[in-house]
Amino acid sequence: MFLERWSLDPGVPFPNSMVSVVLPVSYGAGSEAVLKVQFPHRESDAEARALELWDGRGAVRLLAHDAEHKVLLVERCVPGKPLSEEAFSPAIDVICDLLPRLWLPDPQGVNTVADEAGYWTQSLRELVATQTLDMPLELVERALHLIPLLIDSSDDPVLVHQDLHGENILSSSREPWLVIDPKPLSAEPAFGLAPVISAWEFGHGREQVRQRVEILTQRLRIDLDRAIAWAFVRTVAWAQEGAVASRRHVDTARWLHEML
């Protein structure tokens, strides 16, 4: 349907797509793009809107979009090497350069961090109530305590990518590095550091997490305590999906909890 509508020639679908069907396509005189058919989910409902707002500045361009069927045609990154394959020092330099460009003020058309935190609160409370929690209760109780405090004291919102890890930043010919697959939120910049802080591909250990916290907050002039608190809350919220929690997320949550 969309291959015909947009005159696309399909390639073999990318093997590592988790919640979407994603495949390379060509069109016109050899131009390359990526066709993405999304699985409906609140975190990615506004992906097209975020790409529209960024308009190719630090992120892939949105070429076409069908909102009803949740289908996107986006710029393809070539050569497309993920930032996770870079050494830590150059990788963190790339992220520190990208983040301020992505943090557009007062974004419209995306969910707020308060909306998302409401879902986290409900989900965590259900895990406790149904006795299906697969992580230390003290971590969840601290996260539930911090969520309203952070929401009520948040700074002016910007557009953030709440899943900004090393696999979602790819090398490109148009710019050295471009962001893909946004899960956008309207949130304060301190929240925007959270996914990078918990990204284990940049080193999974107490000192590596602390190093990311210190570098990001110092270079981007973000309040240290708020960055740690948001990273802790988000890590706890993302730790368990289904019956089993990610041990790496639980580890990271413990280390951040020690820093609070």
pLDDT in tens, the chain (260 residues): 677 787 777 777 777 666 678 888 888 777 899 999 887 777 678 999 999 999 999 999 999 998 888 889 999 999 999 999 999 999 999 999 999 999 999 999 999 999 999 999 999 999 999 999 999 999 999 999 999 999 999 989 999 999 999 999 999 999 999 999 999 999 999 999 999 999 999 999 999 999 999 999 999 999 999 999 999 999 999 999 889 999 999 999 999 999 99
Q: Give this prediction's pTM.
A: 0.93
Q: Which residues are catalytic?
A: 163
Closest C-alpha among 187, 200, 210, 193 to residue 260: 210
Could you state, in order of their start, the residue ranges of all structural domains in the chain?
2-80, 82-259
Q: What is the DSSP letter of 58?
A: S
DSSP 3-state of 171: strand
Residue 178: CB atoms within 10 A of its CB come to 25
Token reading at 31: 């131009």
CATH of 2-80, one of 3.40.50.2300, 3.40.1160.10, 3.40.605.10, 3.30.200.20: 3.30.200.20
Can you say how many angstroms the Cα of residue 91 is from the centroid of all Cα atoms in its chain?
A: 16
Domain 2-80 identical in fold to domain 82-259: no
Fold assignment, 82-259? Aminoglycoside 3'-phosphotransferase; Chain: A, domain 2 (3.90.1200)
Q: Are 194 and 235 in contact (CB under 8 A)?
A: yes
Q: Are 160 and 185 in contact (CB under 8 A)?
A: yes
Q: Are 224 and 190 in contact (CB under 8 A)?
A: no
